[in-house]
Structure 1
Amino acid sequence: MKRLRCGTAPEPGCLQAWAAECEALAGRWRAARGSAYGGAAAAARQLRGAFGELLLQMRGLPPALPMMPLELTVLYNSLLFVMGTSDCAIKGEAEGIRQGLLRVLEACGTSGQDLSTQELWQKVLQEVTVEELQAPLHRLGALQAAWWLATSCLQNIIDLFRLLSSAEDPERAPCRAEKNELLTLLKAWRTPAEEASVSLVQSTEDLKETLCTAAAFLQGLQELEAGNLSTTLCLLQEAAGGFCSKRVLAQIYVCLGCCAQRMGKPQTALQHLKQALQVDFQCHPALSHTAAVYHELGETDAELQALYLLYEVCLLWKKNPPSATSSSPYFLIRAELLVNTPILASLLRHHHPSEVKYLLAQRCLRDGRVADAVEHYLDFLSLLQEGLQQQVPLDGGSPLPRIPEVFLEAASALEQDGRHQDSLTVCDEVISRTTNLIPKIIQVEEKLEQPECASLETGLAGGLLSQKRESLCCLTWRAAAYLHQGWVWSKLGKGKEAIMQFSRCLNDLLRFQPRGCGVEPAESLLPEVKVLQKIRLLSLIGRGMQFLEQEKHKEALLDFQHGLQISPDDPAAASYLVQVLWKLNRKEEAADYWQKYLESPAGEDGQQERQGRHFPLYLDSCLKQATFPQNESLARCIQDYLRTTRQDSSR
């Protein structure tokens, strides 16, 4: 390789002064980085400016080969501080690298202004053969790789390190087909030897280790998102054995746990999540995933215990957010700066205490722990009543449903806990909050997909469709509130009040006028329409039961018939219809319905339960109350009637 020529160098005194200043600044960093995090961070911000000013001084002169090794070293140190004091990669870093390469070419008597960054690197590494520039260029290449890694440009890194490996030793250039070429290239990369006196604020060996860890982590996340779980496992295990802070190591273990869970290995997932907490007890996403695994296993006690602990940790974290601690000594380029993807943000999403409180309430209600559910729902609602609803996250990643649904779930829990008046009050709150949001008539396509609506998801038409569906949601919530009040009054033995609320529910539902033609298959209906249909059915059954108790058999018959028209497969509607027909002495019709719907009653409860799983949690208590009680005497009477009828017909 060529060696530097001195004819174009600046004054020797300038070079010596700049080299001394670079060494002094690097020495300040070495002294500061072993101090507490706050001290190191403050020093990093100061030195970022100092190295930036030194670089400006050097670039005030035309580029010359004798000064380029020092200039590239100062550039390297400067960009390390720029990246290390930023939350993520920024555009200025890439531009700083580009300007450095252009000055190298200019010092060599050529240009590359019109080239892309990738083409510029190719030109520099192939044409610049000055020996003293090889190590500085390799270091700058590692920084370029860090920036590309932070922006997920992995192919660019592969192309760059092929060039670096070729420039270092053409015979050692890895094969393109080699498995995971990126990691292979990074591990094989060696920086050319240079003088021991070079003042670096972070060694290239440390930077290399960080790049390897971040590359394995990032690729593991990409494979996880693509569903390639076995590859994900290998890459994340590679990352876990790499060079990173405890915080990042805990994150890697969380991702390993999620991967194992998706592979159908819940016990392995729990082991990884436990490792995450052992490494960093502040990694509370590990607790939320642990609760999810226990939920999948059906271990409710363990799930609730994890949620209780998560709630306490979230409260502590909210009061005293943890500092962004890193490994010691403090490193400027860290894996957490280079791996920022939507899937990682989703997996490591921090929960607000209110979200965890809701999860506790929901899980307790689903598991029949009604008293505990009531306590958690009331705690959650108190946050809203105190005017703190802005602290409750409602983004797409939140486990919280819409707030009216939480109110309805709370009403359901209160009802099941025997706190009937409180349940009525909560329902009144839903009714009053939604009354002014519902138009007199809501016309919307009831099918999930309509050919003429294919383009309605964008522009003004899409907004109109969204507005109509929002009105439909408000109608659903208010109708459900009336439905709950009807069942509460039924429990209290107030038949008149119950019938009134069931009727209000049914009258409200008349506001919805579907524009679909004919009877649509259930799977093609909008979710809101399915819920509305179920609310209508439950209201008809509830009102019919009250009519039946008051011996208003004809009114009850109409409600049960209408209910069976809405949901022909519903065993409760069929059972009540059979009962009222039998009471009206319409035995032949009763027997026909019994044979059609109820002659094989095994599994009816299971069918009701399966149906309930497809509907909001706040309807569970209504679904349970609408279940027809086993009436063995009626079944025997119908069976005797059928036997007698068959005997008469055979004579």
Structure 2
Amino acid sequence: MSFIPIKCRAYDMSVTPCLVDRWSEENNGIISRWKQNERSLEPNQDVQKRCYSESLKLHQKIQGIPAATERLKLEMTVSYNRFLFSLGFSISSEIEESLTHILLRALDAVGSQVPTSDPVMLWQVVLQTFGTSVFVPYVHKLLLIQWMLWLMQCQLDKILALLKQTNNKKELSAPVNLQTVIRNLALTMEEDSSLMVAMAAKDLKDLLHICTVIAQGVEQMNEEKYSEALEAFQEAKGHPSPRRLLAQIHTLTGQSFAKLGQPHCALHCYRKAVEVDFTCHSALYQSVLVFRQLANPKAEMEALCLLYSVDAAHWWWLGRFPCYDVKHFECLEKRYLNAIQLQSDKSSSSASLVSPAMLLAGDQMTCISRVPSPSLILHSLARTCMLNSSISDGVEHYLDLLASLQSEGKELISTGDGTSFPRIPVVYLEAAFALFKAQKYRDALVICEEVITSTLDFIPERLLLDLPMAGLHLAGSTTVSPDSDIVLENVDFVLWAGAAHLLQAQAHWKLKDNKEAITNFTRAVNQLVKVFIKQKDWKQKTLGNTEAMVEKMLTLDAAKGQALAGRGLCFLEKGQLKEALRDLHLSLQICPGCKNTEMWLTEVFWRLDRKDEALVHWREAHNATNTPTSIKLPLYLQAWQDDTVFDFSDLKKKMEDFIQTRNVKKP
């Protein structure tokens, strides 16, 4: 497209220079009030709204008369200020529509025709029309607004197309990326002392530069181009940036290293992020994930504690940053005071018109830097403590979590909220498990009773799954797909109630109340057998079952096997060997290969004087585990998984003596 020269229109006699001067003074008055507010120790949030309202009225007055070249500088400046003030009060599409209107007015003022309404093509005409004129600095200010709007919408391709047009040199045949174009960008950032602006063009351009590079890196991360993303973040670190943005850059750099299989480099970056901004929760959370990957539970728990802490500065002061060698943190007092001082950094002022958070608020960015809710963090902390034998801490955290859920008015039975936070009954069952492991059996009974009471009205009388028919038969209902949400929900209700009875039975057994233990083991069995699958080969993939359905059914079988084995143990202790033999055999049929069950069967056969059969199960026990299923059991079904729960020393001595007497080789 050829260059379109500026054609000055005849002077508009209806608008005197005095009126232009008055509008310029009005603009400068608005900006002066904003600057005064921006410099104050406690900026007033309402000032931006008033400035926006006043600049909008001024803008409307200027646009109430035909556009003319002698007013273009004023009109473009007022438009620039108005667009900055409108952030937070107008949607991007409205601002962009108004921006297009001012560009068309500018072209109309110089008699230029626009052949298209496409924004990129429109900018091409504008830049060619005003490319060598005195209006270039004002046009470039509006170009920054367009750049900002497209960045907020993560439209990086449009930004690339826009910025390539500002290069006066002949475009190279080789493709160029966005980072290269920005690096070589030549915009005229001169300021007009007679027309004040709400934000210096150079400051806005520098902020857009660094945020665009970050957005480019995030997009590359989402495309799994981690090496390219790392280069982008490394470049971003080389530019001056606000404290919190720099911490985010370190965090994103660490995430790139983590994806590239360099966890220790990632941890180094996360530590630097926290050094820059001790409230950088995303860096702490990413540290948790790396520690979990490195199987370092102590560090993981410390990081979770720090992440959940209300007063992160207090932890920083104590030098409690998780499992990074504390000796590396010299002069903690100085760093802490510097961190506090940085909080008043002008770049992070609450009165700032354009912030990194505003520019990087797209779905991609928020997704990659998201931090779990405090409840989810606390749940992860409690669960990690329990899985790593920090029982007392786990109990404390679970009780805090239950108190938090109750204070928030969370119903025990509620639908999932679309997050990774577990269903509330699962949290209650895990809390009961923690209390059980802490030997607070009566407290565990109370928590389980809450689950039983709350699920009572939701448990169906029977769930009959006929998988080849791809249907579920409920009393008085139509056939439903076995993989549907209705089926999975009903299976969950049955499992939760059964697990609650199972935990209660185990607690009663620990309290030496054999009768109540048997009663609750029986209740658990009665609940769990409500789900029945006709096909014996239902685990085969040929039946088309989903992974979620198979996992739930395996979990149900594991709970059923535990309940039968537990009841069998109670019968064994009461000397009811026939009943014990029945339940233990049934348990092994459902969950073959359970070590404890094999040991109890050995004892039953020994007492029945069927010593050869006892020897068979003794050998089987030495080849078995306490987790026979092919899935990882939920935490609340692991109460009896520890080998130290039961004392088999007497049985071991009897069997070893028997083997020696029979001259049988030891297993």
TM-score normalised by the chain length of structure 1: 0.83
1:233 is matched with which residue? 230
Query: Counterpart of 1:185?
Result: 181
Distance in 1 separating the partners of 2:537 and 2:276: 60
Aligned counterparts of 1:332 and 1:463: Cα–Cα separation in 2: 54
SS across alignment from 2:31: helix
Partners of 1:12 and 1:644 in 2: CA distance: 117
**Secondary structure of 2:27's match?**
helix
Amino acid at match of 2:57: E
What residue is the counterpart of 1:539 in the other structure?
Answer: 563
Deviations 1:498-537 (A, max 9, x none): 1111111111112113365634149944332222111001
Q: Which residue does 1:413 correspond to in 2? A: 434
**Is 1:207 paired with 2:204?**
yes
Deviation of the 1:331 alpha carbon = 4.6
Identity %: 28
SS at match of 2:57: helix
User: Displacement of 1:481 after TM fit?
Assistant: 0.7
- Pick the aligned partner of 1:359 from 380, 383, 403: 380
Offset of residue 129 of structure 1: 5.6
Structure 2 match to 1:327? 347
Q: CA deviation at 1:225?
A: 2.7
The alpha-carbon distance between structure 1 residues 515 and 104, as it changes in their structure 2 partners (threshold 3 A), is: farther
Q: Provide the residue aligned with 1:17 in structure 2.
A: 22
CA deviation string 1:109-142 (max 9, x = no partner): 4554862223322343345567233332222222
Structure 1: runs of 5 or more not aligned = 454-459, 646-651
1:111-260 alignment to 2 at 5 Å? Answer: 111-112=113-114, 115-126=117-128, 131-165=133-167, 169-171=168-170, 173=171, 176-178=174-176, 181-192=177-188, 196-197=192-193, 198-260=195-257
Q: Which residue of 2 aligns with 1:456?
A: none
Between the aligned partners of 1:280 and 1:129, the Cα distance in structure 2 is: 42
Structure 1 residue 150: Cα displacement: 0.9
Matched-pair contact (CA < 8 Å) for 1:362–1:373: yes
Cα distance in 1, alignment partners of residues 610 and 25 from structure 2: 107
CA contact (8 A) 2:151 2:212 kept: yes
Question: 1:423-572 alignment to 2 at 5 Å?
Answer: 423-444=444-465, 465-514=484-533, 518-521=537-540, 524=547, 525-572=549-596
- Counterpart contact for 2:385–2:394, Cα < 8 Å: yes
Q: Provide the residue aligned with 1:382 in structure 2.
A: 403
CA contact (8 A) 2:52 2:85 kept: yes
**How far apart, CA to CA, are the structure 2 residues paired with 1:527 and 1:353?**
28
Classify 1:474/1:549 alpha carbon distance in 2 versus 1 (closer, same or farther; 3 Å): same
Call closer, same or farther: CA 1:326–1:574 in 2, change over 3 Å: farther
Change (3 A) 1:526 1:464: closer
Residues 208-250 of structure 1, C-alpha deviation per residue, up to 9 Å, x if partnerless? 2112211121122222233332222222222233343222222
Q: Structure 1 residue 344: deviation in Å?
A: 3.7
Report how far residue 395 of structure 1 moved: 4.3
RMSD: 3.7
CA shift, 1:148, in A, is 0.8
| Alpha carbons 2:481, 2:487 under 8 Å: kept | no
Contact 1:212 1:242 in 2 (8 A): no
The AA in structure 2 aligned to 1:327 is S
| Matching residue's letter, 1:53 | K
| 1:76 to partner: Cα distance | 1.4
Query: CA 1:267–1:349 in 2, change beyond 3 Å: closer, same or farther?
Result: same
Q: Paired residue for 1:79?
A: 83
Q: Give the whole-Å Cα distance in 2 for the aligned partners of 1:415 and 1:6.
A: 87
- Change over 3 Å in CA distance of 1:620–1:451 after alignment to 2: same
What amino acid maps onto 1:503 in structure 2?
T
Q: For residues 368 and 560 of structure 2, what CA distance do their matches in structure 1 show?
A: 39
Conserved in 2, the CA contact under 8 Å of 1:314 and 1:352? no
Q: Does 2:10 correspond to 1:7? A: yes
Distance 1:214 1:170, change over 3 A: same
**AA aligned opposite 2:390:** R
Query: What is the distance in 2 between the residues matched to 1:632 and 1:620?
Result: 24
The structure-2 alpha-carbon separation of the partners of 1:296 and 1:356, relative to structure 1 and needing over 3 Å to count, comes to same
> Any conservation in 1 of the 2:217–2:230 contact (CA below 8 Å)?
yes
Residues 566, 462 of structure 1: alpha-carbon distance in 2 compared, 3 angstrom cutoff: closer
Cα distance between partner residues in 2 of 1:136 and 1:462: 64
Which secondary structure does the structure 2 equivalent of 1:513 belong to?
Answer: strand
Partners of 1:349 and 1:193 lie apart in 2 by 35
Q: Is the 8 A contact 2:385 2:391 kept in 1?
A: yes
CA contact (8 A) 1:540 1:562 kept: yes
2:558 and 2:629 in contact (8 A); partners too: no
Give, as a single letter, the amino acid of the residue that structure 1 aligns with 2:150.
W
Residue 620 of structure 1 aligns with which residue? 638
Cα distance in 2 for partners of 1:446, 1:490 equals 37
Write the letter of the residue equivalent to 1:245.
Answer: P
Pick closer, same or farther for the CA change 1:124–1:624 going to 2, 3 Å.
same
Superposed CA offset, 1:447-486 (max 9, x none): 9xx9889xxxxxx978993233222211111100110111
Separation in 2 of the partners of 1:561 and 1:65?
Answer: 96
Structure 1 residues 209 and 192: CA distance shift in structure 2, 3 A: closer
SS at match of 2:347: coil
- How far apart, CA to CA, are the structure 2 residues paired with 1:393 and 1:63? 59
Partner amino acid for 1:383? S
The answer to whether the 8 A contact 1:138-1:164 is kept is no
The worse-fitting range, judged by mean Cα deviation, of 584-593 and 103-112 is 584-593
Structure 1 residue identity aligned to 2:577: H
CA contact (8 A) 2:594 2:628 kept: no
- Answer yes or no: is the 8 Å Cα contact 2:506–2:517 preserved in 1: yes
Which structure 2 residues correspond to residues 294-313 of structure 1 after superposition, within 5 A? 294-313=291-310
Distance 1:248 1:469, change over 3 A: same
Q: Structure 1's 267 and 19: CA in aligned 2 closer, same or farther, altered over 3 A?
A: same
Residue from 241, 261, 274 that aligns with 2:258: 261
Contact 1:503 1:543 in 2 (8 A): yes
Q: Distance in 2 between matches of 1:613 and 1:627?
A: 23
Change (3 A) 1:501 1:315: farther
Q: Give the Cα separation in 2 of the matches to 1:412 and 1:564.
A: 24
Moved more, 366-375 or 192-201: 192-201
Q: CA deviation at 1:487?
A: 1.1
CA shift in 2, pair 1:210/1:384, >3 Å = closer
State the number of aligned residues: 617
Structure-1 residue corresponding to 2:274 = 277
Contact 1:219 1:235 in 2 (8 A): yes
Aligned to 2:102: 100
Aligned-pair CA distance for 1:149: 1.0
Deviation at 1:325, TM superposition (A): 7.2
Amino acid aligned to 2:71: M
In the TM superposition, residue 160 of structure 1 has moved relative to its aligned partner by 1.0
Long gaps (5+) in structure 2: 315-341, 473-478
Alpha-carbon distance between aligned partners in 2 of 1:393 and 1:176, rounded to the nearest angstrom: 54
Aligned 8 A contact 2:591 2:628 in 1 = no
The code of the aligned residue for 1:78 comes to R
Distance 2:481 2:591 in 1: 31
Question: For the Cα contact (< 8 Å) 2:565–2:584, is it kept in 1?
Answer: yes
Contact 1:612 1:620 in 2 (8 A): no
